[in-house]
């Protein structure tokens, strides 16, 4: 995440990019999952169960990944805010020190 404001901002921007990419992939995943019911009709029982299980697993993993990435982005934004406040505080302290 970094220990300075610039690095923290870069980390946040990377997470925003990843979140945007994940949303695009999410659309693709949803389109893929929408084709599963049509495929299930043509499969035997064991294959049907296998495909249903894999489709559910894909959906669950994608949802979990999205939630984790959203939370990391939120926390990164707070971390950037924290570093911004530190920079502001340091500026005020320097100003007071100069006046003394």
Give Cα 18 to chain centroid, integer Å.
6
Q: Give the pLDDT mean for 2-21.
A: 92
pTM: 0.78
pLDDT band at 39 (very low <50, low <70, confident <90, very high): confident
Q: Give the pLDDT mean for 46-54.
A: 91
Q: Give the pLDDT mean for 12-36.
A: 94
Q: Dihedral sign for Cα 42, 44, 47, 50, please.
A: positive
């Amino acid at each position: 995440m970094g220990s300075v404001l610039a690095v923290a901002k870069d980390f946040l921007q990377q997470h925003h990019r990843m979140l945007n990419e994940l949303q695009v992939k999410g659309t693709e995943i949803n389109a893929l999952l929408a084709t599963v019911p049509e495929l299930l009709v043509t499969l035997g029982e064991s294959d049907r169960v296998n495909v249903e299980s894999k489709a559910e697993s894909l959906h669950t993993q994608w949802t979990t990944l999205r939630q984790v990435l959203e939370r990391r982005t939120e926390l990164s934004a707070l971390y950037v805010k924290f570093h911004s406040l530190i920079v502001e505080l340091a500026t005020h302290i320097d100003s007071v020190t100069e006046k003394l």
